[in-house]
Structure 1
């Protein structure tokens, strides 16, 4: 199909994917000049996108009203994943400081989590907010393995886990204990399932390169955890769900779209490794895609399930 970018376009794998785009829709490159783009978050009221350029220790901002790109925050403590909470505040994972923070409406920064059981976190990677106000984040060691995305340091935790920050008292609770490298995470539209990527293949031969699906109990505990999908091109990193429960996930060759039944129904080819994505725009029907050096966008015939 026609695309304005070399190597970009839609791959129809299953007929269900054809209802999600039109043949004339094309992928746009909105900006380029990063080292490793990650963690896009959409701010609906301001009509702008914030994302991380981890090795360059900065966060960028793209403005939908005029198409301009500027530096949102520098230094950014090698921020990685970002999201928006139900009050429209920025929640960020920071590699350098090994913490999760929230940027308040007045611009001040609140530390939400920087330790578990009295020991420093590894390097919080990605984050999602539940409608009950709890904040869930993954904590692999990527930010402390080298000096490229943080400071090389010895891990203090006994492994790489997903944690939950309680909205009432701020207590940090470990929710998983069998991941190699937990990474992207997102809730289903009804929040009864939690999907979590494991990118353990980066540091383990034949390690996991998949997304697992857990059931979320009324008490917040997770059960199940079967493999939902295994990546056919590199690794899954960050991902989001649309209102029908389809998963739109990053991969080495672009964005992969999975039906809730686990079928890979289509791909959006991007000419760089994709790390993360989010839905935005005034109708949440525009997919913003963080490629390695660039920010891309494409319109789709569905809508993101939550803001941010």
Structure 2
């Protein structure tokens, strides 16, 4: 009886221990997707969607770069309409504190500011007398400065077939300046997705070519320091939520906590997921651009700026 008792109780104890630790582990990972939420297709009549940027109303502007247009998704009625065409082959977008739409316009490798009347100001036309490689994605800090990535993806509308710059970098354009400064020149293969923390003290940059994402400390003058590997995964675009989780794209959406631990994967039924942002009046709708489509998913967390 004694041996029989041990034989049946040891596995039970192990199961109890396992269940306890599993519950504890689950409790440590906050829920990020709203109960019962399902990925919802908004529209799928584009060629390649990119660059979602949310305005102060929670509406999203995104690009269909091959068709040279910016579109607007209105949160109130879930509708999409053309906003601007042509649009300088805009790729990544972001709103500044004054409500201007900033664009990585790589038809002529420029950085644009588009005001509410759709008037365009070219913020950057070159760097040290040469065109940029092709600004891709951007983020605005608390001072109004702009960080942007400058990889090199050959475009069919360019007449050149070599990168104008001798490196693929991350730049920073301070508020009021017309000259960007190099803040990361780390032998990037293809620097791409970029996002910063609400306090402007941390910056995440993806090298999509080497499939790595790095995290930097941001200094008072806008320079970057203390580079660390954040995730063994690249990203075309990225965003943050109020818990500090980082959302990376590619094969659907993969979510990492602030320490770089993977906590969630959100499948998207497309070959490539390009970019994401939080949308809606409370920024609790995840807006996803993927191939020829855009999707939404209701969240238990919300976006931050």
TM-score, normalization by structure 1: 0.86
Q: Secondary structure at the match of 1:21?
A: coil
Q: Secondary structure at the match of 1:120?
A: coil
Per-residue deviation at 1:196?
A: 0.2
What stretches of structure 2 of length at least 5 have no aligned partner?
Answer: 1-24
Q: Which residue of 2 aligns with 1:265?
A: 263
Report the structure number with the largest CA radius of gyration.
2
Q: Which residue of 2 aligns with 1:225?
A: 227
Deviations 1:277-298 (A, max 9, x none): 0011010111100011111001
Aligned partners of 2:127, 2:43: CA distance in 1, in Å? 38
2:163 aligns with one of 155, 165, 169: 155
Q: Which residue of 1 aligns with 2:298?
A: 299
- 2:142/2:198 contact within 8 Å kept: no
Q: Secondary structure at the match of 2:176?
A: coil
Q: Which residue of 2 aligns with 1:184?
A: 193
Aligned partners of 2:291, 2:159: CA distance in 1, in Å? 22
Deviations 1:109-154 (A, max 9, x none): 1111121111111110001001111111111111xx130xx42523
Aligned partners of 1:146, 1:108: CA distance in 2, in Å? 25
1:40 aligns with one of 39, 52, 70: 52
1:169 aligns with 2:167: no
TM-score, normalization by structure 2: 0.87
What stretches of structure 1 of length at least 5 have no aligned partner?
Answer: 1-13, 201-207
Per-residue deviation at 1:17?
A: 4.8
- 2:151/2:168 contact within 8 Å kept: yes
Q: Which residue of 2 aligns with 1:78?
A: 89
Q: Which residue of 1 aligns with 2:235?
A: 236
Structure with higher RCO (Cα < 8 A, 6+ apart) = 1
- 1:189/1:241 contact within 8 Å kept: no
Q: How does 1:37-76 map to 2 (within 5 A)?
A: 37-45=49-57, 47-76=58-87
Structure 1 residues 261 and 61: CA distance shift in structure 2, 3 A: same
> Which shows bigger deviation, 79-88 or 102-111?
102-111
- 2:75/2:279 contact within 8 Å kept: no
1:114 aligns with 2:112: no
Q: Which residue of 2 aligns with 1:213?
A: 215
1:127 aligns with 2:135: no
Aligned partners of 2:99, 2:276: CA distance in 1, in Å? 18
Per-residue deviation at 1:76?
A: 1.5
- Give 1 or 2: higher helix fraction: 2
Q: Secondary structure at the match of 1:55?
A: helix
Q: Which residue of 1 aligns with 2:274?
A: 275
Aligned partners of 1:263, 1:241: CA distance in 2, in Å? 14
Q: Secondary structure at the match of 2:78?
A: coil
- 2:247/2:256 contact within 8 Å kept: yes
